[in-house]
Structure 1
């Protein structure tokens, strides 16, 4: 392999540079200021996230009204993808089912959606859980 055909090495994440040497008090003050800056940035981020959620809701409505699952603007495109996930309505009946059948793979801190889809695909009835279609919006740069 020649140098011209050799694969380019992947870019590495730059190493963190050690902070300049400060007094303890100055270090505390700098850390506090950075924490305050982070809090202010999080407020801005939260506002942006709320705007994104509102636009997602609007896009779902517009796409549904136009009976389509894809659209594009000048900068990006969107498409709707759907995945069936479990929505446990009755944990008191669901837990005994898990224990009796030794289907502990169905739960994490939440229901394991791939395991549920597999059982539903085998026409199994799972007590306490109903299928719920979760929709996500995919945004891609053009």
Structure 2
């Protein structure tokens, strides 16, 4: 009797498409916000604005990783979601503990409160989706 393999689960199918769309939406929002802030008032809060630019870059790369769906894409998406989660928690804690560190809001300040806390939930959803679509060890 031949052994049947489970169908390969990919990150860019089903609910993964919605996740990729949200990452693209946040990439656009964060890029626009950071670009405007850096262009018009960079001297006011350079760290905050550069963090928004970093968040935008992470959203872009995560979306690409999830969309590629292969082994390399999964590794890229895993790294991005992990860095994103650590970043949003660290910036969230720092922005709540010492408001002077972030005189202007970033995508991740206040745990993403300016974006309905989606920046806090998004990497958890990304990590869950990567786990859910992993290949079953056979």
Fold similarity call, TM over 0.5: no
Structure with more of its chain in helix, by fraction = 2
Determine which structure has more spread, i.e. the larger CA radius of gyration: 1
TM-score range, shorter chain: under 0.3
TM-score, normalising length from structure 2? 0.26
TM-score, normalising length from structure 1? 0.26
Structure with more of its chain in strand, by fraction = 1
